[in-house]
Amino acid sequence: MPIQAVEPRRLYRQIADQLRQLIDAGEFVVGDRLPTERELADQLGISRPTVREALIALEVEGRIRIRVGSGIYVTDRPRAEVLTAEMDEGPFELLRAREFIEGAIAAEAALHVRPIDIEHMDDVLRRMEDIPHPTKTTIALDREFHT
């Protein structure tokens, strides 16, 4: 069997894991404000973009909420229904992939859209805004919006 290259875990995932462990251990509790991106980068000896990616991953999981101009806050632990096994690709890679394809899909959809379709999309967005993230309902609404 040939030797296969091993891809090291992405640094932002290691940072997200470390922050998640601190939250789980009670070092940061619900409502606590985390250090700023700059402070975290300095404490960890890494770049701010790497910290930002880790924070995005935690926000996608529902572990933190980033409030622009206010700070990064620990939120209620996500429900078991929305937790999934770790995938080969994390949430940041998924967001990056969506960035590439969604523009082309939206342009194509705009050529065929009807007023009733726009009304439906507006309705789905309104319903999503009224529900805390992430839940099975918001995941279903996101899927409905994009299909």
Instruction: Domain ranges for the chain, please list them.
Output: 1-87
Token couple for 60: 């996608």
The closest of 140, 60, 46, 133 to 93, measured between CA atoms, is 60
Average pLDDT of the residues in 57-82: 80
Residue corresponding to tokens 């805004």: 129
Mean pLDDT, range 131-135, rounded to an integer: 74
> Whole-number mean pLDDT of the chain?
81
Q: Is pLDDT at 85 greater than 50 in this prediction?
A: no
Q: How many CA atoms lie within 13 A of 35 on its CB side?
A: 13
Q: CATH fold of 1-87, please? A: Arc Repressor Mutant, subunit A (1.10.10)
> Is the pTM of the predicted complex or chain greater than 0.75?
no
Tokens of 115: 């007023």
Q: Which two tokens stand for residue 77?
A: 């632990």
Cβ atoms of 50 and 11 within 8 Å: the answer is: yes
Residue 74 phi, psi dihedral angles, 5° rounding = -75, 135
Per-residue pLDDT tens over the stretch 35-45: 999 999 999 99
pLDDT at 81 over 50: no
* Closest C-alpha to 65, from 21, 33, 96, 107: 33
